[in-house]
Structure 1
Amino acid sequence: MRALARMLEPFLEKGQLIIIDAENVRHELGARAPGPKAVIRFHDRWLPLKMLWDPELVGAEAYMDGRLTLEEGTHVNDLISVFTVNRGPFNATALQKVVWSFKDGHARRKQRLDLSRNKAQVRHHYDLNTDLYRLFLDDGLNYSCAYYRTPEDTLEQAQAAKLDHLIAKLDLKPGMRVLEIGGGWGSLAIRMAQAGADVTSLNVSPEQIRIAEKRVEALRLQNNVEFICKDYNEFSGEYDRVISVGMMEHVGIGNFDAYFAKVKECLSPKGFGVIHSIGRYTPPGTTGPFLTKYIFPGGYVPSLSEVFAATERQRLWVCDAEILRLHYYYTLRAWRLRFEANWDKAKALYDERFCRMWQLYLSACEMGFLEGSTMVFQLIVSRERDAVPLLRDFIGDNERKLQAAAGHDTWFQRA
């Protein structure tokens, strides 16, 4: 325990971490400056030693297994916050620094996703029982960042606003052909079809396609929406619009040029695309080992420098860029609270360890958007400089028209 305490103590410049070890000895670390406080208990006497080499993954697995528990009213958000507000390096030994440096480099090389394996890795997450997602998502099963006009908006209001915001950016006209890369459970495809577009939606998850097709049939939109079980790199065609929401995070390091090349290839000369993705405002990095192993294998959040370097190489015009900062924090907070309120139902679908894992995932992402380096960006890209209206006022104008139209009841439908 002393070695772990020596590593953590200099790192904890803000807040306090109290560890009660397996011998019931209390170790109080940090408390040099105001910040979050967490009290945890180790039930494994070897856990401090194991955490020296991979503190994030070993700590996460210990929480999942119940070998690390929370004490004195601590919530998992408090524990994660202690580490997200302290961004300096651990005071590691020379050997540890060498090992961690190798691991970081190896992790980035490993995360250069082989496109042939992309389907299986995406399905790892999205082919889970849809009833699990119903426990915490809105009724439209929107599983990406919502658009909060105020922090007090409900999740349903914010997800409806997100769809309106995207539809407004697409500037759809009746009869336009739209390619959606990554269709989820179909809410955006439904909204685009209701706006008069003919939609082709790509998805590698058969489970999601099954649900989405039922929703489309229930609304009698099957003549306007086609779901295709293919990855973006397997598909060709020409469209007036291309949209990709929450999918670029699954492209993987080293594949951003291929991704934007496909967007460009599928656009008509006067067409344009809307790209919505999680990003980081810091330089390129890696995905944490817990998320990589258990949640999003192959997933990677790109830095803005990686994104714009790829659009430059593909000679795409970036006609508009919008950064959504706290919107995903509010979204994830709503998801986590709903998930925790439905813990027993989730446990009935899977088990206690899965629930702890899922809570840790939602909490870690929530705190990352509140205190870390992640945000969401929305780009409008085109092949030609004059494909997009001269002023971005068209987005607000379209949004106001959508808000003045009838409510959103038609797309809030379960399968």
Structure 2
Amino acid sequence: MWLLDKFLGRLIKRGRLTVTDADGADYRYGDGDADFPDVAVRLTEPGTARAIASDPRLGAAEAYMDGRMRVERGEIRDLITLIRKNQQWEKTGPLAPRGVFKRARQATRQRLDHFNWRRRSKRNVAHHYDLSDELFRLFLDEDMQYSCAYFEDPEMSLEAAQRAKVIHILAKLALKPGSRVLDIGSGWGGMALAIHRVTGGEVLGITLSEEQLEAARRRADDAGVADKVRFELADYRDVEGRFDRIVSVGMFEHVGPPNYNRFFRHCHDLLAENGVMLLHTIGRIGVPNGTDAFTSKYTFPGSYVPALSEIVPASEKAKLMATDIEMWRVHYAMTLEHWYDRTKAARDRIVELYDERFYRMWLFYLSGAGVSFRYGGTCNYQIQYVRRRDALPLTRDYLEREKARLRTIL
């Protein structure tokens, strides 16, 4: 316990954390500040403290998943909040691996993990998105939007905030009647169906998830628009043709830095000369950094959260003009808090679908991600691209006018 005790002593300065080791000894950290959580955890097996100290995020996650670490006062979200709020991004530098050799090993692993050849890309997507549709229906909104919602009012419901997100994105696309649109990473089809309702034109949605493909096609059939809104199991690298608009929401995180230049070159070639593209991605607020071990192992293998300094240079090389860059700071934190609460409410059904360990893993994933968006170094970026500088109105005033129009349609 001495190594974990030393680590927590340096880390927890505000709030209160009580750790009871497997031998029954209590260790207390923090000043009791009421603006920070008060959490108590119990380690139930010898060796758990050492496992956590040697790899804090993955070690704590697996100890919680296995029941070797139990949260006895508060809940797992409170524990992660306490830790991350004590290391708020604005007040500290990013936490990096210690030692040059450890940094080199991590950099090499990251390059290999993020190369994302076609076969690996599909396998990585299937790991997460081919889980049971019922699981996602238990915590997502009715439209099955599995990306950051847009809270125009903090008191908005999840459903209202996801609708606001769709409207915000469609306004930036400056859609025209009859537009031909490509949706890269189309999920369960909600965005593509909304675009068709606005334009009446053809929409092609592509995904690497067979579960999502089946659900999206079913939704298009049920809406009677399958002849206009098509969904295909396809890699973005294999799409051909020309599109008036391209939208990609929550997919760029799976492209991988070695493929950024190719991604944007292909989007440039697919986009009509006077077309508009909107890229919505999780991003890193600061400098580039690697993917943590828990995410790589349990939730999004092969994923990578890019810094803005990695996205824009790649798109510049493809001669795509970034006409609008917007940073969403805490919207995803609010979204994930809704998902976390809904997951807790659906505990019994999730355990029935999978097991208790999976349920705790999912809670850890949602709470860790939410806290990272609220106190850590992650955010969302929306970047609007054009090939021609006159493809959009002269000023941004059109966005609010377009959003008002879309609210009457969607």
Paired residues in the alignment total: 403
CA contact (8 A) 2:243 2:270 kept: yes
1:311 paired residue among 294, 311, 315: 315
Letter in 1 for 2:42: R
- Deviation of 1:51 (Å): 2.4
Equivalent position SS for 2:257: coil
Number of the residue aligned with 1:272: 276
User: Can you give the 5+ residue segments of structure 2 that lack an aligned partner in the other structure?
Assistant: none
CA contact (8 A) 1:279 1:303 kept: yes
Equivalent position SS for 1:254: helix
Equivalent position SS for 1:3: helix
2:241 paired residue among 230, 237, 243: 237
Number of the residue aligned with 2:21: 21
Q: 1:185-264 counterparts in 2 under 5 A? A: 185-195=188-198, 196-264=200-268
- Deviation of 1:164 (Å): 1.1
C-alpha distance in structure 2 between counterparts of 1:36 and 1:188, whole Å: 38
Quick one: structure 1 residues 98 and 89, their matched pair in 2 at CA, closer, same or farther if it must change by over 3 Å?
A: farther
CA contact (8 A) 1:6 1:91 kept: no
2:111 paired residue among 100, 104, 109: 109
CA contact (8 A) 1:11 1:90 kept: no
Please give the TM-score of this superposition, normalised by the length of structure 2: 0.94
Number of the residue aligned with 1:31: 31
CA contact (8 A) 1:108 1:253 kept: no
CA contact (8 A) 2:114 2:255 kept: no
Number of the residue aligned with 2:47: 46
CA contact (8 A) 1:203 1:229 kept: yes
C-alpha distance in structure 2 between counterparts of 1:70 and 1:89, whole Å: 28
- 1:120 pairs with 2:128: no
Q: 1:77-92 counterparts in 2 under 5 A? A: 77-87=77-87
Number of the residue aligned with 2:338: 334
C-alpha distance in structure 2 between counterparts of 1:226 and 1:308, whole Å: 30
Letter in 1 for 2:297: K
CA contact (8 A) 2:94 2:377 kept: no
Between 375-384 and 105-114, report the one with greater CA deviation. 105-114
Number of the residue aligned with 1:180: 183
Equivalent position SS for 1:380: strand
- Deviation of 1:53 (Å): 2.1
C-alpha distance in structure 1 between counterparts of 2:95 and 2:330, whole Å: 31
Quick one: structure 1 residues 139 and 282, their matched pair in 2 at CA, closer, same or farther if it must change by over 3 Å?
A: same
Equivalent position SS for 1:135: helix
Letter in 2 for 1:70: V
CA contact (8 A) 1:111 1:253 kept: no
Number of the residue aligned with 1:136: 139
Number of the residue aligned with 2:376: 372
CA contact (8 A) 1:108 1:285 kept: no
- Deviation of 1:104 (Å): 3.4
- Deviation of 1:311 (Å): 1.6
Number of the residue aligned with 2:2: 2
Letter in 2 for 1:39: A
Equivalent position SS for 1:201: strand
- Deviation of 1:103 (Å): 4.6
Equivalent position SS for 1:255: helix
C-alpha distance in structure 2 between counterparts of 1:54 and 1:99, whole Å: 16
Query: How large is the Cα RMSD of the aligned pairs?
Result: 2.0
C-alpha distance in structure 2 between counterparts of 1:15 and 1:99, whole Å: 34
Letter in 1 for 2:145: N
C-alpha distance in structure 1 between counterparts of 2:337 and 2:53, whole Å: 30
User: Can you give the 5+ residue segments of structure 1 that lack an aligned partner in the other structure?
Assistant: 409-415
Q: Any idea what the Cα deviations from partners look like across 1:57-88, whole Å, max 9, x if unmatched?
A: 1110110000000012x111111112212335
CA contact (8 A) 1:107 1:286 kept: no
Quick one: structure 1 residues 255 and 37, their matched pair in 2 at CA, closer, same or farther if it must change by over 3 Å?
A: farther
Number of the residue aligned with 1:57: 58
